Amino acid sequence: MIAETGLIALWLAATLALMQLALAALAVHRGDDTLAAAVRPVAIVQGALALLAMAALIRVFLTSDMSVALVVANSHSAKPWLYKFAGAWGNHEGSMLLWVTILGLAGAAVAALERRLAERTLTATLGAQAAIALGFYAFLLFASNPFARLFDPPADGQGLNPLLQDPGLAFHPPTLYAGYVGLSVAFSFAVGAMITRDVGPVFARAMRPWVLGAWIFLTLGITAGSYWAYYELGWGGWWFWDPVENASLMPWLAATALLHCVSVLATRDGLRAWTVMLAVVAFSMSMLGTFLVRSGILTSVHAFAVDPSRGTFILILLALYIGGALALFATRIGSVRAGTTFDPVSREGALVANNLLLSVILGVVLIGTFYPIVAASFGTQLSVGPPFFEKAAGPIALVLFAIMAAGPLLRWRRDDARALLKRMALPIAATALAAVSLIALAGPMTILALLGLALAAGLAVASVAPLFGRNLLRTPLFVYGMVVAHLGIAVSLAGMTASNAFTRETLVAATIGEPARVGPWRVVLRGIRPVIGDNWTALEGRLEVQRGEAPALLLKPQSRFFANPPTTTNESAILTAPDGQLYTVLGQSDARGRWQLRLWWKPWVTLIWFGGALIAFGGLLSIAGHALRDRRQKRRAIEAERAAAYREAWGA
């Protein structure tokens, strides 16, 4: 009955989404407050029903209910409970149910918490959110039912892809989906504001925490996904420009641009049309990513669907939502483009320049991702790999970082270029000093690597420069958020560039006791032994690793075999040092009893993920800072109102 309960909850949620959309449309059209008041509770109940459906799916996975087709295809009774739990969304149907559950919960949260928007705009926003949800409910109920029963259930399931049996994959998809779906809320806010012609600072202040939240989750999801690919896939890389990786990067680029625009609109009443357009673009990228992963046009460990008809369904949804929003934008452009003006040399000017550069990088990633797919549809097989993306996007990104360093040091509205140069003296000096030091001490490297590392140093100094001369105890929390997030970008940039420039790799066929070297490390294969896990067996290498005269340490890379489904995977063993990581992988043995070993020394690679965590933490500080300021302003308004009432009553 659990599966039937989930399916009924899904149907009821879809019905309520339809009702929410109809009520919102009527309320906005007629200006009927009674109908508008009914939209909030309907949205809340709809979110609760979607959550119930997801809970039911998790339950049938945890109990290994083999009468449910999805459980048979993606689980096994011998799996550890964590992977049964994660298996609920480690497949096409479950991941789409998770998508729509987060969407429903986000709509419910907007209905329950939002008090700043005008009631009519909020009603239109909830109507837009219901329209998005309705499409995905239809997709689940008519094309991807996660609760479909089997009339003749097997005794056991086929298991989950072993590469997905990792704690990181239990948390990475929900984090990423929360980011994707958070952008749907921004999209709904934009649609609602366009419908009621209410694009302005109040709308931006209401939308900002949702954009910030989505951006934080996307940052965490991309960072976690990058580290998962690094340690789990056994190829030693942290980013391969895989189409599925790009599917998460594109919304992040658009969300980053949107985040800065929405702040300008909220505080300076500028960039109105940009903000609305970027909200549409960011959600478009989110939908495009969903289409890429679910359409079956890709082969990837992340891509679940193999049925092109499902991709067509999502493509139709994409065309409806984005085409409708763009048509609405075209009809409302006259009323949304008005806003305050600013000089080119100003903080707004720097933000616009950065938005343009982010858009160009987004275009490069979009073209590089879809070009092979389009070419394949015409019978031409080709691939677009890291060299294209790095050469095309790398130089643009360096210009972006340079403007990003200057942006926080510019004044709003209007500034003077000579005054800016004085404020930039320290970051410029740090950049020059880093460049000279690298040329003198670090040995040969590409010009792109040299510029990247030098700019990282200058950007780090520029990031903290807004704190110079301030009373740090009275500095608003959201300023710290900006500083920390920008510092995180500098740290990640340093890690990416250093890792690419200085990584050393050794591939050896080693016998027991034979030493090998990689970077500053001496590695000796001391033995191979069999080990048994929860649902796998493995051959485990015992590598003695030593750096200089320091005591030797032991690393244990494994070659694992999973019986359900039959799969062999490589589990890397990684040693983290203060200045980098030693990464080891055990391969196959040959007829002479030698074992393949892949060894990498990756200087400063951990800065990539530490920087990602800093970026997300900066976002959290910004949310907290804005919330505290809003609360303070609300309290002052209440106190002022009470004081005015007191004066009126007592004639004071």
Per-position DSSP letters for 80-106, written without gaps between them: -HHHHHHHTTSSHHHHHHHHHHHHHHH
Model pLDDT, residue 428: 95
Task: State the average pLDDT over residues 522-549.
Answer: 93
User: Is 80 exceeded by the pLDDT of residue 338?
Assistant: no
For the segment 561-570, what is each residue's pLDDT rounded down to a tens digit?
988 778 888 8
User: Is 80 exceeded by the pLDDT of residue 161?
Assistant: no
Model pLDDT, residue 339: 67
The alpha carbon of residue 502 and the mean position of all alpha carbons in its chain are separated, in whole angstroms, by 27
Question: Does the predicted model carry a pTM greater than 0.95?
Answer: no
Give whichever of 75-79, 320-324, 411-415, 459-463 has the largest mean pLDDT. 459-463
Strand partners, 525: 543
Comparing 648 with 71, the larger pLDDT belongs to 71
**DSSP string for residues in 27-67:** HHHHT-HHHHHHHHHHHHHHHHHHHHHHHHHHHHHHTT-TT
The residues, any chain, with a CB within 8 Å of residue 637's CB and separated by 6 or more, are none
- Assign 124 a pLDDT band (cuts: 50, 70, 90): very high
- Assign 174 a pLDDT band (cuts: 50, 70, 90): confident
Q: Tell me if 262 sits within 8 A of 619, measured CB to CB.
A: no
Residues of the chain with pLDDT > 70, as a percent, come to: 96
Q: Tell me if 181 sits within 8 A of 175, measured CB to CB.
A: no
Task: State the average pLDDT over residues 462-491.
Answer: 93
Out of 150-159, 466-475, 489-498, which region has the weakest mean confidence (pLDDT)? 150-159
Task: State the average pLDDT over residues 326-341.
Answer: 76
Q: What is the mean pLDDT of the chain?
A: 89
- Assign 383 a pLDDT band (cuts: 50, 70, 90): confident
Three-state secondary structure along 394-458? HHHHHHHHHHHHHHHHCCCCCCCHHHHHHHCHHHHHHHHHHHHHHHHHCCCCCHHHHHHHHHHHH
Model pLDDT, residue 295: 65
Model pLDDT, residue 13: 97
Q: 3-state DSSP call for residue 512?
A: coil
User: Is 80 exceeded by the pLDDT of residue 429?
Assistant: yes
User: Is 80 exceeded by the pLDDT of residue 311?
Assistant: no
User: Is 60 exceeded by the pLDDT of residue 53?
Assistant: yes
User: Is 70 exceeded by the pLDDT of residue 651?
Assistant: no
Q: Other C-beta atoms within 10 Å of 282: how many?
A: 31
- Assign 342 a pLDDT band (cuts: 50, 70, 90): confident
User: Is 70 exceeded by the pLDDT of residue 289?
Assistant: yes
Model pLDDT, residue 308: 61
Model pLDDT, residue 235: 80
- Assign 611 a pLDDT band (cuts: 50, 70, 90): very high
Comparing 479 with 567, the larger pLDDT belongs to 479
The residues, any chain, with a CB within 8 Å of residue 174's CB and separated by 6 or more, are 89, 98, 102
